[in-house]
Structure 1
Amino acid sequence: METADDITTAPAAPRRTSRPRADALRNRERIVSAARELFVEFGPDVALDDVARRAGVGNATLYRNFPDRAALTHEVVLAVTSRTTLRAEEAAAEEADPFAALSRFVHAAADERVGALCPMLSGVFDRDHPELLAARGRLEEAVQGLVSRAMSAGRLRTDIAAGDVFVALSQLTRPLPGTACLDIDRFTHRHLQLFLDGLEAPARSVLPGSAATLETLRRRD
C-alpha cells in the first residue's frame, strides 16, 4: 500500500507571464497616434470619443488602455519625447558635419509638433513622473551632445546653449493665437532655417541677455 511518503510530487508548472497580444499593442499604438494628432489639431481638451473614432477603436478599448485623460496625455508626451530623442540620436550618428546634424535634428523635431503639444505640459497629468523625467533627461542629453559637438568644431556660435534650441523649437512650432495649428506648418521650417542661420559661426551680432541653459529652463520660480 502506498503511503504519502512514497508519492513523488510533480514540480509545479512554471507560471507564464502574459504578454499583450499583437492586436492589443497595435490598438494602443493607434490610440496614442490618434491622440497626438488630435491634440495638435484641437488642443489637449479634445473629446476622448473623438480619439477613439480617429484610432478606429471602440470607446471600451480606449478606456481599457487609458482609464482617463491624464493617462493618455502621459503616454502621448512620453511617445513624442522618445521619438524626438531618436531623431537627435539618428542625426548625430548619420551626419558627419556636426552643424548639419544639429540642423537635421531641429527640422525633424519640428515635424514631431513639439511646440503644439506644449499646452499639455500644464494640464492634468504628472509632469514629474519618473518615467517622463527619465525620457526628458535622455532628450536633453542627446540635444546637449549635438550642441557641444557643433560648438567644439567651431560651427556653432559660442554665446548660446542647448536651452536656446528648445526655446526656439517650442516657440516656432506653436500655432499663433487665433490660427489653426495646421495652418502654421508651411511657415515652420522656413523660420527654423532662419533661426539655424543665426546659430552658425561666425556670429554676425551680439546677443542680448544670457544663454538659455537646460538648468534655467528647469526652474519654475
Structure 2
Amino acid sequence: MFVVATASQPRLRADALRNRERIVTAAREVLVEHGVESSLDEIARRAGVGNATLYRHFADRRELIHHVTLFVMGRIADQAETARSEESDAFQALRRFVHAAADERIGALCSLLADSGVDRDHPDHVVARERTEVAIEALLADARAAGQLRDDIAIGDLMVAITQLTRPLPDSGCIDFDQFVHRHLQLFLDGLAAPARSRLPGTPVTLDDLRQKAAQAASRTTDLSHP
C-alpha cells in the first residue's frame, strides 16, 4: 500500500495510519466515480470511518485531493519500476505498465488537478512527478534501445493516449465503457512497435510540452475572465 509521507507530517500510530490509508483509497474511488465535487460524507462512509476522523487527517477537500493525486502518482511509478524489473522483454514491460496505468484511471483523476485548485508546484507533487517521469522514461528508453519502439514517440504521446482512453465520457450513456479500454490500449501499443508502418505527423511530445500548453490555456482562461 503506497502512502505519501511528507516532512511536515507527524509519525502516525498504526491505527491512525490504517485510517488514513482507507480514506485516501476510498477518496480515489469516489473521485473517479463522481468527480471533484464528490461527497466527503460518502468518502468517509466508504472508508468505514466517521466524518470527524476524515477531517482529523485532512483539513478540507483540497488537501484530500492533494494526497489522492500523490497516491496515484506513487502507484504509477511503482507499476513502471516493477514492470521494468520483472519483465525481461523491454516492450512487454512497456505493455504491462500501460495496462496497469489504465487501471489507475489516470484520465478520470487528471481533471482533479485542474478543477480542485491543487498546487502542482507543491514540493511533494514535484518529487512524485519527477519519480514517475523517470520511471516511465526508463521503460521507453529500454524499448527504444532494444529496437522495439518506434523512434517518433515520446512520453507525452504515451501519457496522452492513456489519459484519453481512461477519461469518462460525459453523458455518453455508454454502459460498460471500461470493457473497451484494454482492447483499445492493445491496438495503441501495437501501433507503437517498431518497425513503424507510417510516419507520424508533427513531432514527439514531452511532458514539458504538455505542461507548457496547459499553462498557456490557463493563462488564456484567466485573461478572458478578467477583461
TM-score scaled by structure 1?
0.89
Work out which of the residue numbers 114, 134, 142 in structure 2 matches 1:141: 134
Higher Rg of the two aligned structures: 1
Q: Distance in 1 between matches of 2:100 and 2:111?
A: 20
Work out which of the residue numbers 132, 143, 146 in structure 2 matches 1:153: 146
Work out which of the residue numbers 168, 190, 209 in structure 2 matches 1:175: 168
Q: Which residue matches 2:186?
A: 193
Deviates more, 1:178-187 or 1:105-114: 178-187
Work out which of the residue numbers 94, 98, 101 in structure 2 matches 1:106: 98
Give the aligned residue type for 1:60: A
- Could you give the per-residue CA deviations for residues 83-124 of structure 1, whole angstroms, max 9, x where no partner exists? 000000000001111100101000001111111101101122
Assess if the C-alpha contact under 8 Å between 1:31 and 1:62 holds in 2: yes
Structure 1 stretches of 4+ moved >6 Å:
none
- What SS is found at the alignment partner of 2:203? coil
Q: Which residue matches 1:22?
A: 14
Q: Distance in 2 between matches of 1:97 and 1:182?
A: 35
Assess if the C-alpha contact under 8 Å between 1:161 and 1:213 holds in 2: yes
Question: 1:214: Cα distance to partner?
Answer: 2.2
Structure 1: which 5+ residue stretches go unaligned?
Answer: 1-17
Work out which of the residue numbers 31, 52, 62 in structure 1 matches 2:54: 62
Q: Distance in 2 between matches of 1:69 and 1:30?
A: 16
- What SS is found at the alignment partner of 1:115? helix
Q: Distance in 2 between matches of 1:181 and 1:98?
A: 35
Distance 1:181 1:61, change over 3 A: farther
Question: 1:180: Cα distance to partner?
Answer: 7.0
Aligned length: 204
TM-score scaled by structure 2?
0.87
Give the aligned residue type for 1:156: L
Q: Which residue matches 2:85?
A: 93
Q: Which residue matches 1:11?
A: none
Q: Distance in 2 between matches of 1:133 and 1:180?
A: 37
- Could you give the per-residue CA deviations for residues 127-164 of structure 1, whole angstroms, max 9, x where no partner exists? 21110111001101111111111011100000111111
Give the aligned residue type for 1:112: E
Give the aligned residue type for 1:191: H
Question: 1:215: Cα distance to partner?
Answer: 2.0
Higher helix residue share: 2
Assess if the C-alpha contact under 8 Å between 1:41 and 1:180 holds in 2: no
- What SS is found at the alignment partner of 2:79? helix
Assess if the C-alpha contact under 8 Å between 1:147 and 1:162 holds in 2: yes
Q: Distance in 1 between matches of 2:46 and 2:76?
A: 23
Q: Which residue matches 1:14?
A: none
Assess if the C-alpha contact under 8 Å between 1:118 and 1:170 holds in 2: yes
Q: Distance in 2 between matches of 1:79 and 1:182?
A: 28
Q: Distance in 2 between matches of 1:197 and 1:36?
A: 30
Give the aligned residue type for 1:25: L
Structure 2: which 5+ residue stretches go unaligned?
Answer: 1-9, 217-227
Give the aligned residue type for 2:203: S
